[in-house]
């Protein structure tokens, strides 16, 4: 009898995990279509998400994002509620709610730990989707607009570099060579050799990976006071991505040998630059995770 109960429990657990996996696959499928509108994606997820919960027939969902609310036809607020935040750039911009609209009799807790984890995974995927969709729209808008070149005073550049704990002499070395790019010009080319890093001080540019999609995969909009090409400093001396100017841009060209020497002799600057690099890499990885949805959970 005990063995039979164990088998029954095991089969129930397997059934629940299967439901959760199928739910994730459905979510991934919906999020893989960047041509869909935000409303369409949210509506699709409201239909899909209940399939991952134990009591699917009484499970309802509401998704809130950027002033938009999409919810199940029979959705209503109850005490049997689970939620997870939609977060972009460390700021909560929405929320997903899962509720049961009828009382439940169960020996286990209302929401299983696996279901809590499932909702957090979905919220994370949706956050990345919204972030990447916003990035794509921003790039498209910048490419289609005739935005005048920004005017950033040299003292602002000096102040920013000074805040990185560079000395006057080191700042002079960083700002010795200045180049201007016109809108649409290539700033760096994936696979090409390089011996320098760029510091963008005016305008907007984009970084993208070639070959992932027909027109490349845009993974970052670069704003003033950001480095471009720092990843080649200690790795291979080639660009791992391409970059082009979305607006007229001003950059300072800094020889990698100069940066390496300053890193060796200025520990405060080294700490600041690695903090910047780690934060930038983390943001890029979160955005790139969107294109890996179909590989999630072993699919």
The two structure tokens encoding residue 297: 């959970």
The pLDDT of residue 260? 93
pLDDT in tens, 222-234: 989 999 998 888 8
Percent of the chain with pLDDT over 70: 83
Distance CA 155, CA 168 (A): 12
Q: Which CATH superfamily is 146-295 part of?
A: Jelly Rolls (2.60.120.10)
Q: Is the pLDDT of residue 104 over 80?
A: yes
Better-predicted residue by pLDDT, 47 or 109: 47
Range with lowest mean pLDDT among 58-72, 137-151, 164-178: 137-151
Compute φ and ψ for 272, nearest 5 degrees: -65, -40
Range with lowest mean pLDDT among 57-66, 95-104, 249-258, 286-295: 286-295
Q: In this structure, which topology does domain 2-143 adopt according to CATH?
A: Beta-Lactamase (3.30.450)
pTM of the model: 0.58
Q: How confident is the model at residue 238 (pLDDT cuts 50, 70, 90)?
A: confident
Range list for CATH 3.30.450.40 in the chain: 2-143
The pLDDT of residue 291? 53
Which of 201, 200, 206 shows the shortest CA–CA distance to 219?
206
Q: Is the pLDDT of residue 49 over 90?
A: yes
The pLDDT of residue 150? 45
Compute φ and ψ for 5, nearest 5 degrees: -65, -40
Between vectors from CA 257 to CA 251 and to CA 262, what angle results, nearest 5°?
85
Q: Is the pLDDT of residue 159 over 80?
A: yes
The two structure tokens encoding residue 39: 């409303």
Compute the average pLDDT of residues 22-40.
88
Q: Is the pLDDT of residue 122 over 90?
A: yes
Q: How confident is the model at residue 299 (pLDDT cuts 50, 70, 90)?
A: very low
Please provide the average confidence, as pLDDT, over all residues in the chain: 83
Between vectors from CA 76 to CA 124 and to CA 85, what angle results, nearest 5°?
20
- Asked if residue 233 lies in contact with residue 255, where contact means CB atoms within 8 angstroms, the answer is no
Range with lowest mean pLDDT among 18-22, 85-89, 103-107, 126-130: 103-107
Measured between its terminal Cα atoms, the distance across the chain in Å is 36
Beta bridge partners of 61: 98
The pLDDT of residue 293? 47
The contacts of residue 193 (CB under 8 Å, 6+ apart) are 237, 238
The pLDDT of residue 6? 60
Q: Is the pLDDT of residue 212 over 70?
A: no
The pLDDT of residue 280? 79
Q: Which helix (H) or strand (E) holds 31?
A: helix 2-31
204-229 b/e with 16+ CB inside 10 Å = b?
Answer: bbbbbbeeeeeebbbbbbbebbbbbb
């Amino acid at each position: 009898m005990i063995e039979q109960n164990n088998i029954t429990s095991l089969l129930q657990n397997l059934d629940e995990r299967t439901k959760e996996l199928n739910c994730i696959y459905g979510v991934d499928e919906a999020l893989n279509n960047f041509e869909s509108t935000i409303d369409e994606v949210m509506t699709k997820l409201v239909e899909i998400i209940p399939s991952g919960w134990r009591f699917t027939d009484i499970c309802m969902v509401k998704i809130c994002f950027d002033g938009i609310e999409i919810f199940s036809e029979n959705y209503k607020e109850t005490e049997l509620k689970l939620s997870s935040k939609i977060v972009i750039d460390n700021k909560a911009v929405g929320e997903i709610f899962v509720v049961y609209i009828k009382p439940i009799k169960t020996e286990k807790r209302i929401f299983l730990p696996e279901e809590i984890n499932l909702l957090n995974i979905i919220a994370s995927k949706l956050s990345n989707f919204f972030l990447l969709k916003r990035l794509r729209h921003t790039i498209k808008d910048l490419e289609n607009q005739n935005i005048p070149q920004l005017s950033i005073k040299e003292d602002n550049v000096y102040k920013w570099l000074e805040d990185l704990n560079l000395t006057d002499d080191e700042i002079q070395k960083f700002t010795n060579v200045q180049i201007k790019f016109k809108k649409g010009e290539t700033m760096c080319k994936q696979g090409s050799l390089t011996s320098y890093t760029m510091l963008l001080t005016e305008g907007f540019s984009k970084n993208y990976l070639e070959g992932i999609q027909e027109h490349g995969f845009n993974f970052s909009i670069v704003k003033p006071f950001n480095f471009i090409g720092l990843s080649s400093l200690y790795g291979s001396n080639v660009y791992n991505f391409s970059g082009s100017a979305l607006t007229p841009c001003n950059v300072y060209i800094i020889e990698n040998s100069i940066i390496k020497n300053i890193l060796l002799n200025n520990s405060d600057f080294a700490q600041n630059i690695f903090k910047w690099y780690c934060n930038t890499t983390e943001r890029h990885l979160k955005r790139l995770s969107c294109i890996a949805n179909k590989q999630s959970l072993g699919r």
